[in-house]
Amino acid sequence: MKNRLRETWNSGKPALNGWLGIPSTFSAEIMSKQDFDSITIDLQHGLTDYSIAVPMMQAMSASDATMLCRVPWLEAGIIMKLLDAGAMGIICPMINSGKEAEEFVGATRYAPLGYRSSGPVRAGIIYPDYHNQANDQIISMAMIETEEAVTNAEEICATPGLTGIYVGPSDLAISMGEGPGLDRKPGKVYDAIQYVLKIAKKAGIRAGLHCMDPNYIKEMYASGFEFASLSNDVRLLTQIVSSQINDVRS
């Protein structure tokens, strides 16, 4: 099973992730032709559900980017369905404790390492020897995006089998009494993000976060993050269209 994201990490390089919130096979295909190490279909805050996520993955099947999905919540059923459909990894929101992290990881792994049910309806077709390789290849990233999760970062990061953590800066900021927004500047939210990074590094797992600006991603790579998402398709489309219109209007 080829896994570009793991290959990137194993080479010692940080990974760049694309983010899809538009429920379109064509826009997904366009994004998949870009040089991302992985691409995430967002079923939480995107306008996407399972019935369109599957054809979006099919539209991206020619890409070597690793297919990930963010699930709406910690719920084993949708985690297993998306893995069966061909997702190579899951990002799970609002993981606030080691217990929740353990429940999340268990849903992504077959026994004896987890409790995932066997039925890889599409994954078994597109990935050779799927059952025997899945436990080693599937990526699990727990989102740390509350003050409670920061407090419990050590127990979350110590969860056996967890690939990494993924910081959600906006929700984290809200939980800490500040306004939403990515690319946090020095302050208490930024300090919390750096603390979580330190804990992840100590635990020997990957650390990622959602970003907006390319230069900010470079800064976060330099600080030790190994996974970063570049905005999302909605924002990128809005940004380029708005910029072009402003040029015309000026």
Q: Is the dihedral of CA 47, 49, 55, 57 positive or negative?
A: positive
10-43 b/e (C-beta count within 10 Å ≥ 16 → b): eeeebbbbbbbbbbbbebbbebbeeebbbbbbbb
Tell me, yes or no, if 210 is annotated catalytic: no
181 CB neighbour count, 10 Å cutoff: 13
Coil, helix or strand for 182?
coil
CB-hemisphere CA count at 13 Å for 27?
A: 17
The encoded tokens of residue 247 equal 């040029």
Asked if residues 2 and 64 have their Cβ atoms less than 8 Å apart, the reply is yes
What is the rounded CA–CA span in Å between residue 81 and residue 121?
Answer: 9
Bond preceding residue 112 cis, omega within 30 of 0: yes
φ, ψ of residue 120 in degrees (nearest 5): -75, 75
Q: Is the dihedral of CA 237, 240, 241, 243 positive or negative?
A: positive
Q: Which of 45, 122, 201, 235 is catalytic?
A: 45
The encoded tokens of residue 51 equal 């019935």
Active-site positions read: 45
